[in-house]
Amino acid sequence: MPLWQIYHPTGTFKDTVSKQALAEDITKMYTGIGLPSFYVVAQFIQMSESDVWVGGQPKIANPFIRVVITQIAVRLPDDDVAYKKNTTMIDNVLKPHIADKGYDWEYHVDETERRLWKINGMIPPLWKSEEERLWCTENKPVPYEGAYARF
> Over 90: is that where the pLDDT of 140 sits?
yes
pLDDT digits (tens, 9 = 90+) for 78-96: 999 999 999 999 999 999 9
* Banded pLDDT at 49 (limits 50, 70, 90): confident
Architecture of domain 2-117: 2-Layer Sandwich (3.30)
* pTM score: 0.94
**pLDDT tens per residue, range 57-81:** 998 889 999 999 999 999 999 999 9
Do 43 and 66 form a contact (C-beta atoms < 8 A)? Answer: no
Domain boundaries, the chain: 2-117, 119-151
Residue 17 has pLDDT above 80, yes or no: yes
Residue 41, helix vs strand vs coil: strand
What sign does the CA torsion over 136, 142, 6, 45 have?
Answer: positive
129-143: buried (b, 16+ CB within 10 Å) or exposed (e) per residue? eebbeebbeeeebee
- Among residues 26, 19, 70, 17, which one has the least CA distance to residue 46? 19
